Every structure is written in structure tokens, then in C-alpha cells.
Chain A
Amino acid sequence: MATGTAKTAPAVKQSRLARKALPYLLSLPALLMCIGILIPFFTAVYYSLLRYRLNLPAMKGFIWFQNYINFFSDPKFWNTLKISLVYAGLTVIVELVLGLMIALLLQRRTRFNNFVSILLLLPLMTAPALAALMWKLMTNPNFGILSYLVSLLGFPDMKWGSDPATALFTVTLVDVWVYTPFMMILLLAGLRSLPPAPFEAAALDGVPRSFVFFRITLPMLMPYILTATLFRLLDSIQQFDIIYAMTQGGPGDKLLVFQVQAYLDFFQATNVGRSAALMIILWAITYALSNVFIKQWLKLRERAHGVA
């Protein structure tokens, strides 16, 4: 700014005020954009306090927390809670480990590695609902290539998603196939942006590789791991497309996760009250989980900044 000294003093004053307002100015548009969504959200909270079934309009009434209280004595609800948590935990852990492993394999900047990392994004680009349709065909005992290959390996009676014993495995497999690339790409970007100095020093000192990995790489990568895991966890606990397309929540009630149950409650049974209550609980769980993650993330960030 080619301004004279005369203007300096007010400019500083102004900028102090601007400085205070600036972060709000920067973040408010994003907030306002999303805030409209809060209105339907509160409408849904209100629905969850109603006995509200669209095809029994005479029964509609305000019942406070009865929908929630009913869940406590309902073994089906506990089954839903359990299977949702198991599913989310299982998929996220497998995807994290696998994603990290692949990111480490592709860490070096070579043309080949770069190309492979983009190639590995292809499953993520396949819409899960359609991917599940293809997997259902590939695991069909008659026409499915995977069933055929598995039968050549000595498992002629593999029943994949239709067998209570292998249903969870099957949907997890599809989830891992679709979403591991998400983990991989975020962790790879993280790995490649780590500063080289600590690694060079460790190499010079002849520090064992496992020590480098657990004491240097992993801690430095932790913010990236937390971000990637958080987003995967939020999506995974809300999984719908893959499970619904593969098994519709079956066999039996083996895969009746939150979203599948809430979907059926709403779209088939038109039980709006129950469906909304179920999703508010799901929302509360994700809220709590992300709270934990964010706290951890901020702490790590602060520590990193403190060291620097």
C-alpha cells in the first residue's frame, strides 16, 4: 500500500477492528448457508416427540419421550444399536489399517505410485448403490465370478450376504472395497506432506524402522488419521446404500442398522414418529463420537503448534 504516514494511525485502528471481525466475516457465509438446514432438523426433533403414523392420522398426538422410552424395552432396538456400532467399528478399523498400509506402499513420489493411487480411487467413484448391485451379481452362486473363484478354492457353498454367518463379512467386504481409497488418499497426502527432517535424522542415527514408524510417522500423521477416521466413522455408522442393496437388513435381523430400520419405518410403515426418534438417537451418537474426535484433534494440533 503506497499510502503516506498520515494515514498509518487510523489504518492500524481500523485494521484492529477489521481483524476482530475478519474471522467472523470469513466463516459466517458458510454457517448461514447451512443454517437453513437447522429448521427441518428441529421439525424432525418435534416429530420424534409425537405418536405420528401417516396412515393412522387419528392416533396422532404429543407423547413427550414415549418413542424413546419404548426403545429401551425393545430388543430390536438394542440389536440395531449393536449391529450399527459393530459395523462401523469393523469397517473403519479395517479401512484405516488397509488404507494406511497402502499409503505407506505408495509413499514414494514416483509416476507409477501416483498413477496407482488415482487408479485406486475408482471404487470410491462407483456409487455405492450401484457397486452393491454389481457385488450382488458377483457373489451370486450361479452367475457370480467371485462365487465361482471361491468354489475353485474349495468353498462350493459360500452363500455370502444371504447366510447369517457370512452376511456381515460380505457387506464389510463391499464397504472396505468402496471406502478404503478414501482413507488411502487422505493418509497418502498426509504422509507426503510430513517434513523430511526428523526422518533424515533418524536414518542417520540408525534408528530401527519400527521405532520410526510408531514414534515419528504415526504421531505426526495423527491429525490426518483422526480427520479421515472421523469422516469414515460418521458415514459408516449411517451406512444405508450398501446394506440395503445387498441384503435389505437381512438375513433375519442380522444387518438391521439404524438407517435401514429408519428408512423402512418411514417409507414403508410411514411411522414418522418412530423413524424420527431413531434418527435423533443416531444423530446423538454421531454427535458424541465426533465431539471426542474433535477434542482430540484440537489437542494434537495445539501440541504440534506448541512444539513448533
Chain B
Amino acid sequence: MYDKEKGLFEAFVAGKMSRRELLRATGKLGLSASAAGMLISSAQTKAMAADFDWMKYKGTKLKLLLNKHPYADAMIANIETFKSMTGIDVAWDIFPEDVYFDKVTAALSSGSGEYDAFMTGAYMTWTYGPAGWIDDLNEYIKDPAKTNPTYNWEDVLPGLRASTSWNGVPGGELGSADAKQWCTPWGYELNNISYNKVMFDKVGVQPPKNIDEMVATAAKLTKDLGGPYGIGVRGSRSWASIHPGFLSGYANFGEKDFSVTDGKLKAAMNSAGSKDFHKKWVQMIQESGPKDWANYTWYQVGTDLGAGASAMIFDADILGYFMNGGDNKEKGNLGYAPFAANPAAAAPTPNVWIWSLAMASAGKQKDATWYFLQWATSVEHDLFGARKMDFVNPVRASVWKDEEFRARIDKSYTGYLHQHDVSAPGAKIYFTAQPLFFDLTTLWSENLQKMVAKEIPVDEGLDKMAAEMDQKLVEAGLG
């Protein structure tokens, strides 16, 4: 290989040179784009290979269980880098998102060692961890013999590292000193406002700054636009309706889902502050939410924004990101804004969803699996995905500083970097980690549906719901 080119690529991978500079320089040298890609890959390998024996598990074959998701696509697009660097072969099973977690539960609960690692969300590890299906990754991260010295775990955003670690004690604080690292963050989403700039300009409003403004702005949009409705939020009967916008706003007022005293959990959704927030939220949906809000999942919220049926959403930032491209009618019209529901709050407190990678306890080649996990969550792969694929949002602070990535996002996604920069420090999981998470959060969404349908008043509904939850906690020995 020509030393001159290798020097260029190493400078690029080390972040000393921008992509454009690199391309110009390689163009001068007469390299084709694909050859350049190969060299980037070999440079990635070289950057990572410093003082670490990547070839130690050469010849091993790993199998992954993946969700059909842009993050998995980004990984697959770069997998040759891993294979050639380690000599480890990687196969995978991809399942549609709709049935993905059913497949994971089925595979793990049968004790099958078929899959070595798999994609998961942090909430799911609150089940998988105590059930004994996944390993504590601290044993690997903290072992210098197993982990590449340039892995730089501290570079992963602190809120995400904390949110994916838990000591397994019901109500135990996430990221505590005795916490186990159940999975490594891979890509994540936080919840803010994505809005239709054209519609906002037409009506003459700005992205709202707090919940009262949001209720008012959404109502004005609904009224003045004559067609599209003001705000899209999720509402289906599922825990997944609570965790995005709703909990982000809720947490901004300092409200909690459960209180923990002496290791006992108690529902905290019937506090005065909580009731107040619920009332505003319910009113907002009734006045300016989608007509069939109770059916709304990730898909409907996104579809409506992309097709111009809604003027804004309070949901995952990457949902708004996806809707600004593809064959969406409103592509290019979307903007992004941070949102702190509480006027007194200093910054937004978005709850997060973290797509992560976990190691199956039943797997039989764990050291090799860890090689894959550390590569897939490395700075190098994160950078590759963020620059070239839709591996957004990256979980590493250094990638967020990368000029090429920032320039790419800033060009087509107005306000996206800003909303992220402002919110990232407060972005973490605001739920209480406990084994009944899915039962009780689903129950919460069920009650929200009843409130929006005016079947029960908010105050009374929350009191009854809290009582029901307390009873379930007692039955499970947690309350």
C-alpha cells in the first residue's frame, strides 16, 4: 500500500482531517471512491488495533438477533470491517420490530444458546437481567485484558451509561455504584418537539416553550390550519405511550412514577403536581390531538407528521428526523426544538429510549461476543454510522463533536443539533427500575385512555389507579 494514502486515511480516522479534505486529497492521488472506502475500513482497523490482539478469537462464529432497524443496517453495512479485523464470522437473524421482542423473550426464556448477542432496549433489561438471561458487561468493560485500550467507555454519554445499568434491586437507582451494566448503549432517541415549519409560519407561531404554551399553540394550530391537527403524541394501550413525550414533560416538573422508601415501592402518580400535569395533557389531546389518539403508536405519530396531517409532535427526535426524508410529503419542511414542559425548569429533561446490545448468558463464546460488542459500540463504528448511515442519535460525545456529522445534520435538519445539545445533559431514563414496569406502565396508559375518553375524571382516576398499582406491588412483594 502507498504510504502517502495510508497517512491520509489515518489522519481522517483520527479526526484530523474532514471528509471533504480527504476526498479532495484522495482524488488528487487518483483513488476511486470504493477504494477509498476500503482504505477507510483498513484505517479504522488500524486505529483500533493499537496494542490489542483483535485476532485472538479468529475462526469463531457468532450469531446475533437483530431488529429490523436503521441501526442494524448501519452495523451490517460495516460488518466486513469487523470480520477482517478479528477473523470472527458473524451471522444474524433479523425480525420485524412488530414481533421482535416476542422473539427475544421466546428465545431467551427457552434457554437457547443460539444467539450470542442481541438488540434490546434498556427497559427490557429490567426483565432480562433479574431473569438471569444476560450478563453484567462490567466484567468485560473493566477488564483491560478483554477490552481494547482505545475503547473509551467514558466517552458514551453519562446519562445513557447510567440508564443502562441497574443493581437489580426494585426501585434501585439507575447507574448506582453497585449497578450492573446490563447492556451497552448503541443508538438512542430523546423526546422533544419536531414541527412543520411551513404550517408554523402560516399560522405565525413559534415552537412552544412550556406545557401551557404547548396546549395553547396546539389549539391555535388546529383552529387556524383548518385540517391538520395541532399535536401528535402516542396513545395506544401500551407502556410505549408513556415513555416518550408524556414522561419527558412529567419528569420536567420533578414528578415521579413511584416513590421508594425503605425498599418499598409506592405509586406516586396521584400527587397534586401529577394531577395537574395529567389534566393539561388530557386537555391538549382532547382539543388538538389526533381524533383516534387511542390508536396512536410510534408509526401513526410519525406518519401524520410526514404526511402533513399534524403540525408538530412531542416524541422521539429521530422520529422527526426520519419523517424529514424518504418519500414523505413534508420532507424538508420539518424543524426541531427543545422542550421543557415546566416554565421553572432550567433545561429539558427528556426521557430516552436506548437501543443497546446485550450478551446472552446462554451463549458459549462470550469473550468473542464481547469483541463484537465493543467493536459495534466503538467510536470508529459510531462515527461510520453517524457520517454515512442513519445511525442517529449516536451515543458517544466525541461523535457529536465530529464536524462532518454535524455539518450533515445541520444542512437538512433545522434545529436538530441545537435541540440535542441543549437536552443531552438531562437525557436519561426517568422511570423507576422495577420488575412490574411493563404491567404498571401499560395500566397507566389504559387509564390515560379512559381520561381522554372522559370515562373517568383525572383526579379520581389517578387515585384509583395508584391504589390498584399499590395493591399489585404488595402482591408481588415489592410494596
Give the B-binding residues of A (Cβ under 8 A).
Answer: 53-57, 59, 136, 139-143, 157, 159-164, 246-253, 264, 266-271
Contact = CB atoms under 8 A, between A and B. Distances in A.
Given A55-B130, A252-B450, 14 more contacts: A54-B127, A59-B477, A136-B295, A141-B292, A142-B290, A143-B303, A159-B291, A162-B235, A162-B293, A162-B295, A251-B450, A252-B446, A252-B453, A264-B438
Given A164-B453, A250-B237, A268-B439, A57 B132 contact: yes
Interface stretch (B3-11, B101-109, B136-144, B191-199): B101-109
Contact of A157 (B130, B237, B291): B291
18 contacts: A53-B435, A53-B476, A54-B109, A55-B126, A55-B131, A56-B476, A160-B292, A162-B235, A162-B292, A163-B292, A246-B295, A250-B236, A251-B294, A264-B438, A267-B102, A268-B239, A268-B442, A269-B438
Interface string B288-306: 0011111100001001100
Given A136-B295, A157-B291, A57 B130 contact: yes
B309 interface: yes
Chain B residues touching A, majority SS? helix
Interface in B435-455: 435-436, 438-439, 442, 445-447, 449-450, 453, 455
Contacts of A157: 291
Can you list the 10 inter-chain pairs with the closest CB atoms, starting with the nearest?
Answer: A250-B237, A162-B292, A162-B294, A268-B438, A251-B294, A142-B309, A141-B291, A55-B127, A252-B450, A248-B237
B381 to A, nearest CB: 31
A66 to B, nearest CB: 10
B237 A271 contact: no
Contacts of A139: 292
A250 B449 contact: yes
B101 A250 contact: no
A127 B207 CA distance: 43
B407 interface: no
A271 B439 contact: yes
Nearest to A248: B237
B198 to A, nearest CB: 17
Contacts of B294: 161-163, 247, 250-251
Contact of A54 (B131, B436, B442, B449): B131
A54 B447 CA distance: 26
Contacts of A266: 105
Contacts of B291: 141, 157, 159, 162
Contacts of B436: 269
B33 interface: no
A140 to B, nearest CB: 7
Interface string B118-147: 000000001111111000000000000000
A160 B300 CA distance: 15
Contacts, number: 101
A260 to B, nearest CB: 9
* Residue of A54, A55, A160, A267 ringed by the most chain B CB atoms within 10 A: A55
Nearest to B130: A55
Contact of B442 (A142, A164, A247, A264): A264
B163 interface: no
A56 B435 contact: yes
A252 B191 CA distance: 25
Interface in B202-247: 235-239
Contacts of B238: 248
A270 B126 CA distance: 11
B453 A270 contact: no
A61 B453 CA distance: 40
A58 to B, nearest CB: 9
A270 B123 CA distance: 13
Nearest to B236: A248
Contacts of A160: 292
Contacts of A162: 235, 291-295
B102 A57 contact: no
A136 B296 CA distance: 11
Nearest to A161: B295
Contacts of B447: 252
B91 interface: no
* Residue of B130, B295, B435, B436 ringed by the most chain A CB atoms within 10 A: B295
A237 to B, nearest CB: 21
Nearest to A142: B309
B446 A253 contact: yes
A267 B309 contact: no
A74 B105 CA distance: 27
B94 interface: no
Contacts of A159: 291-292
B474 interface: no
Nearest to A70: B475
B307 interface: yes
Contacts of A54: 109, 127, 131
Contacts of A59: 476-477
Given A162-B292, A252-B455, A269-B436, A56 B130 contact: yes
A143 to B, nearest CB: 7
Contacts of B129: 55
Nearest to B450: A252
A161 B300 CA distance: 14
Contacts of A248: 236-238
